[in-house]
């Protein structure tokens, strides 16, 4: 079973040769608790950075360029860490800091236009995450090949459509599938895209939980807990942005 989260997609194959060549004892293998503690640490780092950015950074003229640079750097880190299966906590922590910067400044902009929206988005994000975790633990929803195909297809489609929409907006100024202005009117398509993205993001956690659980049973080295935690952080941030965007549509 492959995860729908692109960061965790290749985790099934990671470390297989290493285990065969070097061997990993039970004391050196990662556990679910290792993944949980590292995920919590990364979330705390992201949250603290976001809070500092919210308070410290002014709404200056140069800020959009700084945010664009941070977003690009974050995207590069995601690609590098996921493709190279980096387990070093330093670049993973750097990603958490960059995303905290983006979350803090952008969330403040949303909050100025729609008071209370950030708390709603945070509660919604963790509510969905915990809900999917409970459903997975109770085995009410299982990770199946069909579910994996549906989730992967939906996420890939959303990413492709978002890129096309962004290029169209930059070239023509038209907002179709997603609204980039905080106050522009929204048609029915952005609602559909956001809804599908939230559903796909939620079900991707089921596949991620299954992959982490099976990786623990397979005896992956403990340092790969950082890689798993990074993948879950990416999924949570994606879900937060989608919920924040949908809430802003509903508040207009």
Q: Identify whether 169 is part of a domain.
A: yes
Helix H or strand E segment including 35:
helix 32-56
For residue 128, the enclosing domain spans: 16-250
Query: Tens of pLDDT along 48-97?
Result: 999 998 888 766 555 555 555 666 667 777 778 877 777 889 999 999 99
212 with 9: CB under 8 angstroms?
no
**Is residue 189 assigned to a domain?**
yes
Per-position DSSP letters for 144-170, written without gaps between them: -HHHHHHHHHHHHHHHHHHHHHHHHHH
Distance CA 28, CA 221 (A): 6
31 Cβ neighbours under 8 A, 6+ residues apart: 216, 222, 225
Look at residue 221 in the predicted model and tell me its pLDDT: 87
Phi, psi of 23 (to 5 degrees): 80, 140
pLDDT per residue over 125-163, tens digit each? 999 999 999 999 998 888 888 888 888 888 888 877 877
Using an 8 Å Cβ cutoff, are 124 and 243 in contact?
A: yes
How many domains are contained in the chain? 1
pLDDT at 2: 52
> Are 224 and 11 a contacting pair, CB within 8 Å?
yes
8 part of a folded domain: no
Residue 177 maps to a domain: yes
114 inside domain: yes
């Amino acid at each position: 079973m492959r995860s729908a989260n692109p960061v965790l997609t290749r985790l099934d194959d990671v470390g297989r040769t290493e285990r065969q060549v070097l061997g990993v004892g039970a004391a050196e293998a990662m556990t679910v608790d290792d993944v949980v503690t590292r995920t919590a640490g990364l979330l705390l780092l992201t949250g603290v950075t976001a809070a500092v950015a919210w308070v410290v950074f002014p709404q200056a003229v140069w800020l959009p360029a700084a945010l664009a640079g941070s977003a690009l750097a974050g995207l590069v880190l995601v690609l590098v860490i996921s493709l190279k299966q980096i387990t070093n906590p330093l670049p993973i922590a750097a990603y958490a800091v960059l995303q905290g910067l983006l979350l803090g400044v952008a969330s403040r902009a949303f909050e100025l236009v729609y008071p209370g929206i950030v708390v709603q988005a945070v509660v919604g994000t963790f509510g969905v995450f915990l809900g999917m975790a409970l459903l997975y633990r109770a085995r009410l929803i299982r990770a199946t090949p069909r579910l994996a195909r549906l989730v992967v297809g939906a996420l890939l489609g959303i990413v492709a459509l978002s890129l096309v929409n962004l290029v169209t907006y930059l070239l023509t100024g038209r907002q179709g599938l997603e609204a980039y202005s905080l106050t522009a009117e929204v048609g029915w398509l952005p609602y559909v895209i956001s809804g599908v993205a939230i559903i796909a993001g939620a079900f991707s956690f089921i596949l991620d939980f299954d992959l982490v659980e099976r990786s623990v049973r397979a005896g992956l080295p403990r340092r790969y807990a950082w890689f798993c935690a990074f993948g879950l952080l990416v999924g949570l941030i994606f879900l937060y942005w989608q919920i924040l965007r949908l809430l802003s549509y509903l508040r207009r």
